Structure 1
């Protein structure tokens, strides 16, 4: 099953596609690492299997936005404990604020989800435990009018994958394959785990 590049590439594509569409997927919330070695868990919103891009939502005030804009190199780590599969994706990221893709992602969200962008910026200090949301919106879905100011704080983070590292953990011996992208072509190679 895990001994040829075509099978593994198909497995990678199917796992990333499922991770973006199935909230119960073990890979739905990968660890995203920016070049400043900041790491955080984020929800994978979309995997474009033709362009090999990953899409996440972010607050424009989050430190990761400045990190990506200063140095766009990124890594994303996915792990499925049950399947014993780890996927490491490396690529180049970009932040999109006012593009059609960003607007489409905003339009697809519910007001309940969009309200996160009405609160204090990520990392804002507080003397008490807080969600950062305005008190009147705690546990409440805002109206269309309430949500308007949130749009300026919303952006998408898009990672164009340049390398995929696939690792299958097995008691009989791990198997690892690395795929590098050159233009639109992918080249696979076997490496020691």
Structure 2
């Protein structure tokens, strides 16, 4: 992690942002492990939710999340819908706002691999019936009663694979903000296919 207090190197800042995201994907205690994802539905209604970051690939400019294929956001995202992502690290005093295009995968080798790598407790989440977002007459988890608070076996969790999907977001803009009592710093990074990152300083 770099010291931002004296830096004027835009390239290093962009690299550090992706370094932090990459680390957060495997570190549950990292402030960037849970990110805010926002998008609009077909009638322009805004939606936000917190999602766990599973992978960050700076070279591909891509973030990966897990989701239930029956969730409302899957239809909203479709294949290429615009989304925004917000990350904030209070101790480090760093905010990163990102925007890009999202798509869903449900039946690819990537999805199979992610399912195999998921814990049995994580797989259990996709056994909910009725589907996430369904209305009910009482508060329920949706999980089979016998599996509430219990780690399922591989066989018990397997039916959830049908409902398991990946949400990928390809980032095309990243805005970095560093908060400091001596004076904040802010920069914007746009990605252009033939030039890579185009970074510019901004007034905080």
Give distance in 2, aligned partners of 1:35 and 1:20.
Answer: 25
Give the deviation of 1:127 after TM superposition: 2.2
Q: Does 1:191 align with 2:194?
A: no
**How far apart are 1:148 and its partner, in Å?**
2.2
**Cα deviation, residue 71, structure 1:** 5.8
1:86 correspondence with 2:95? yes
- Alignment counterpart, residue 121 of structure 2, candidates 89, 112, 118: 112
The SS at the match of 1:132 is coil
Of 55, 68, 77 in structure 2, the residue corresponding to residue 59 of structure 1 is 68
Correspondence for 2:24: 19
Task: Find the counterpart in structure 1 of residue 83 from structure 2.
Answer: 74
> Contact 2:11 / 2:199 at 8 angstroms: preserved in 1?
no
- The residue correspondences of 1:27-66 to structure 2 (distance < 5 A) are 27-36=32-41, 37-66=46-75
> Are the aligned partners of 2:79 and 2:102 in contact in 1 as well (CA < 8 Å)?
no
**Separation (CA, whole Å) in 1 of partners of 2:138 and 2:157:** 25
Once residues 139 and 163 of structure 1 are traced to their aligned partners in structure 2, the CA distance between those partners, rounded to angstroms, is 41
Residues of 2 paired with 1:158 and 1:181: CA distance? 17
In 2, Cα distance between equivalents of 1:190 and 1:17 = 24
- TM-score when normalising by structure 1: 0.95
Quick check: 11-20 or 74-83, which moved more? 11-20
Distance 2:124 2:13 in 1: 39
Aligned equivalents of 2:38, 2:7: Cα separation in 1: 27
Residue among 135, 143, 149 paired with 1:133: 143
2-structure distance, mates of 1:70, 1:45: 20
Alpha-carbon shift at residue 70 of structure 1 (Å): 6.9
Q: Give the distance between the partners of 2:7 and 2:132, measured in 1 at CA.
A: 41
Q: Give TM-score, length-normalised by structure 2.
A: 0.90
Could you list the runs of 4 or more consecutive aligned residues of structure 1 that deviate by over 4 angstroms after TM superposition? none
Contact 1:75 1:89 in 2 (8 A): yes
Structural RMSD (CA) = 1.4
